């Protein structure tokens, strides 16, 4: 099949291009890109793409799968469909399933389940169908530790041989001796390792960023130091050992400062924040919507500004989605008692575009880079430029299309989002993978 996308806005952070082009896609490959293409075969399907945006497929650094163990929250099938519907052609799942992904047999089992995810294209429907093919590519993080207490390392070399994308627990590791041992052991394996720095003793029973809003809303606070002291300790170990590290879920302005200083000193680190931490601050929690109970919690307005500036400057390398599905029953309880997390794969691009690009705070290239080529680089991967004859790993996005966030318009099985029932502007039209 050959398709001509006429006068589509191509946003290519790899080639630093943002402009109008005609693009020909044939049998899963980019065949031609030019300002105008008129010499086409008679069987070419012509598509008027004025007003649409074409960019490299988005890459999500880390998200949660319900399967195995919590299939009522999310299956691999629904996860991959939601990812494709949100423009993500690659998704990397965290190992905190049940059982935990801590052995090669489970990695192989999950890899075998990702049927249908090896190529093709995906067009989201107005009413999602469970039969629609999942086309995002699934990658799997391997667990660092075996036990809940986080005291014993997994067989990291065996997991590396099994094909995991890298190593993380997706939860705080407070045993610094273990972290040091992991960094030493992983040096020759050449796989990414990601840590979520958070001091759980300082976090205690907190559910909201410390400050005047926490006092006003009567919610237990979490101090900034719960994150920053853990980041400082991790940076000291990286400086001593030299193993490259990715820092997950950065949420405070002081953390951005620490990471900027460490990068200026030449430490081999990358960092990410999540999409919701770029959009909302503590004032949003006044609704007590449990989908705003996140861990780390939403920051104050100064944190949001620093995170946005950090992404634009490259101090924060990537925007992660951290899609965390929960059932209705799990989330319908008091704010402080609810599990932390929210869905986001189908919502992130429209909302980030609306509130960061359309407002002029981010350029389209800056946002697309933070969602595609930069997260891939954090994993030691590459995203191809939009040039022939590269394989077509692409996302077509309509910034003006409006739609309502509701059960029938989502592929994910869960609905824990603060935007449920609201009209959004911007939706992915198609992905190629």
Would you list the DSSP string of 266-322? T--EEEEEEHHHHH--GGGGGG--GGG--SSPP--HHHHHHHHHHHHHTSS-EEE--
* Contact indicator for 173, 147 with CB cutoff of 8 Å: no
CA 300 from centre of chain: 22
* Contact indicator for 301, 281 with CB cutoff of 8 Å: yes
Sort strands 17-26 and 2-12 into parallel, antiparallel or unpaired: antiparallel
Residue 126 is given by DSSP the state S
For 74: left if phi > 0, alpha if psi spans -120 to 50, otherwise beta; the answer is beta
Would you list the DSSP string of 33-99? EES------TTPEEEE-TT-EEEEPEEEEEE---TTT-TTT--HHHHHHHHHHTTEEEEEE-S-SSS
Residue 210 is given by DSSP the state S
Q: Is 322 a catalytic residue?
A: yes
Q: Spell out the SS3 assignment of 324-340.
A: CCCCHHHHCCCHHHCCC
Q: How far apart are the first and last CA of the chain?
A: 14
Catalytic-labelled residue, pool 22, 295, 322, 398: 322
Query: How many residues does the structure list for the chain?
Result: 433
Q: Looking at the annotation, which residues are catalytic? A: 322
């Amino acid at each position: 099949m050959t398709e001509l996308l006429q006068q589509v806005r191509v946003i290519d952070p790899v080639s630093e291009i943002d402009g109008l082009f005609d693009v020909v896609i044939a049998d899963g490959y980019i065949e031609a890109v030019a300002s105008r293409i008129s010499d086409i075969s008679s069987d070419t399907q012509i598509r008027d793409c004025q007003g649409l945006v074409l960019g490299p497929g988005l890459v999500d650094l880390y998200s949660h799968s319900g399967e195995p163990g919590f299939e009522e929250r999310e299956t691999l099938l629904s996860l991959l469909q939601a990812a494709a519907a949100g423009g993500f052609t690659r998704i990397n799942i965290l190992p905190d399933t049940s059982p935990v992904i801590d052995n090669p047999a489970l990695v192989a089992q999950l890899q075998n389940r990702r049927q249908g995810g090896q190529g093709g294209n995906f067009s989201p429907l107005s009413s999602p169908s469970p039969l629609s093919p999942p086309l995002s590519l699934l990658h799997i993080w391997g667990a660092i530790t075996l036990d809940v207490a986080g005291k014993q390392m997994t067989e990291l070399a065996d997991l590396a041989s099994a094909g995991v994308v890298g190593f993380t627990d997706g939860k705080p590791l407070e045993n610094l001796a273990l972290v040091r041992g992991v960094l030493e052991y992983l040096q020759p394996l050449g796989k990414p390792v990601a840590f979520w720095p958070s001091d759980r003793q300082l976090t205690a029973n907190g559910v909201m960023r410390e400050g005047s809003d926490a006092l006003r809303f009567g919610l237990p606070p979490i101090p900034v130091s719960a994150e920053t002291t853990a980041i400082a300790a991790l940076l000291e170990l990286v400086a001593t050992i030299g193993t490259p590290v990715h820092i997950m879920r950065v949420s405070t302005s002081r953390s951005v400062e620490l990471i900027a200083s460490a990068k200026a000193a030449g430490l081999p680190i990358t960092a990410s924040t999540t999409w919701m931490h770029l959009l909302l601050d503590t004032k949003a929690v006044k609704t007590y919507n449990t989908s705003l109970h996140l861990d780390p919690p939403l920051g104050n307005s100064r944190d949001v500004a620093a995170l946005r500036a950090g992404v634009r400057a490259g101090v924060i390398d990537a925007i992660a989605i951290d899609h965390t599905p929960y059932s209705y029953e799990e989330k319908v309880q008091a704010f402080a008692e609810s599990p932390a997390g929210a869905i986001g794969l189908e919502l992130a691009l429209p909302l980030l575009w609306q509130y960061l690009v359309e407002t002029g705070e981010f350029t389209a290239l800056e946002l697309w880079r933070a969602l595609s080529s930069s997260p891939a680089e954090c994993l030691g991967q590459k995203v191809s430029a939009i040039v022939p004859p590269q394989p077509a790993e692409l996302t077509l996005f309509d910034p003006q299309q409006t739609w309502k966030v509701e059960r029938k318009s989502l592929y994910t099985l869960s609905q824990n989002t603060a935007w449920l029932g609201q009209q959004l502007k911007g939706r992915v039209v198609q992905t190629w993978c």
